[in-house]
Amino acid sequence: MIKPHGAAKLTPLYVDNDEKRASLLKEAETLPKLLVNSATAANAVMLGAGYFTPLAGYMNKADAISVANNMHTSSGLFWPTPVLNLCKDVSKISGHKRIALLDPNVDGNPVIAIQTIDDIEELSQDELDLITEKVYATKDVDHPGVATFTSLGNYVVSGPIEVLNYSYFETEFPGTFRTAVQIRAEIEERGWKKTVAFQTRNPMHRAHEELCKMAKESTNADGVLIHMLLGQLKPGDIPAPVRDAAIRKMVELYFPPNTVMITGYGFDMLYAGPREAVLHAVFRQNCGCTHFIIGRDHAGVGDYYGAFDAQTIFDDQVPDDALEIEIFNADHTAYSKKLDKVVMMRDAPDHSKEDFVLLSGTKVREMLAAGEDLPMEFARPEVAKILMEHYQNS
């Protein structure tokens, strides 16, 4: 199986020993408390679950700036986006070595992790602007990722963490949330030598379904990991439980048995386009996948990125030896009326736009909200039904 990124084996930071976890929770009662933001909590979940192997905790300012500038930490580890505990007020934790991090996304704000503080540093506005510009390729606050990042605060609290739970992900998505450790174990148990991963924050329509099948066939993979984001999204995106139900129905009816793993991970969407595509590749390698699908406008939003910037970054900025996972570059995929099947548009140069069944996201939402059936060429009827019920009840 493919090796984890930067390590011989996964380095999950979740404390799975019951006795030690109980001891840490008792210690947390005596420690200064920091109510973290959702982004910091999501980073803790990803660190705990092994997705961010080989990181041992939150980055310091030097590492964050280095990663923003050249996708390497100060020590030379390849990493595409800063992993930070950013906050606005450090008055309650200054001078302390260990602190309890409180989860903002669960009622009662339980302790999600204990952090040993290496340093507390302040980012200047220029440094904050630099990180924003490098990671998101824009400082426009209308960009949802930029809006979130620039609202988190400018104090960097760095140091290793011990993760005590997986926030709401394990309880709200018990059948879907999986750690990198669990996914790697299941791939091994299934005997898959090659696994192609598909990232999604949306329901999967016919084009996505066929793209997974094309990638599996092209790479000669044993199976597909459909890996959905379960964390915070921008307003208007479809909630995770609805996406989960729609994807499960699609796989049940339209994929051969035992060729797909449906899983999810606990992270908040960055909408960072190319940089986030590279981050996605890192944690799919940590899951044990050998190939990763990068499609049109992967992890993008609005018109902030070029259609295929998330592919070209791997050629232009990612060193050849940085990652072991291989990228499957996909074009925009749509149903061809001429060929009566889903194709990648680059493979149909004789087609005009009118030869494809193309619907904008806005048009799809309008049709579903109005109770109108989506074209069968665009969406499986069983999937469309689940989405229609969501839109008519919301």
Instruction: Record the tokens describing residue 13, joined without a space.
Output: 């930071």
* Cβ neighbourhood burial of 227 (10 Å; 0-12, 13-18, 19+): buried
Residue 112 DSSP one-character state: E
The angle at the Cα of 210, spanning 331 to 379, to the nearest 5 degrees, equals 105
Sorted by sequence, the CB contacts under 8 Å of residue 164 that are 6+ apart come out as 14, 15, 21, 24, 25, 28, 111, 112, 113, 114
C-alpha span between 231 and 268 (Å, rounded): 4
What is the CA angle 287-226-385, rounded to 5?
160
Question: Is residue 288 within 8 Å of residue 195, measured between CB atoms?
Answer: yes
Tokens 């910037």 belong to 309
Q: Which of 202, 227, 197, 206 is nearest to 333 (CA)?
A: 206
DSSP strand pairing (291-294 vs 260-265):
unpaired
- CB count within 10 Å of CB 154 equals 16
**Complete DSSP assignment for 76-99:** --B-SS----EES--TTTTT-SEE
Q: Which residues contact 80 (CB under 8 A, 6 or more apart)?
A: 67, 71, 275, 276, 278, 279, 282
C-alpha–C-alpha distance, residues 102 and 87, integer Å:
12
How many angstroms separate the most distant Cα atoms in the chain? Answer: 69
Q: How many helices (H) and strands (E) does the chain have?
A: 13, 15
Alpha-carbon distance of 35 to 14, in angstroms, equals 19
As annotated, the active-site residues are 201-202
Tell me how far apart the alpha carbons of residues 327 and 340 are, in angstroms, rounded to a whole number: 28
What does the DSSP 8-state code read for residue 58?
A: E
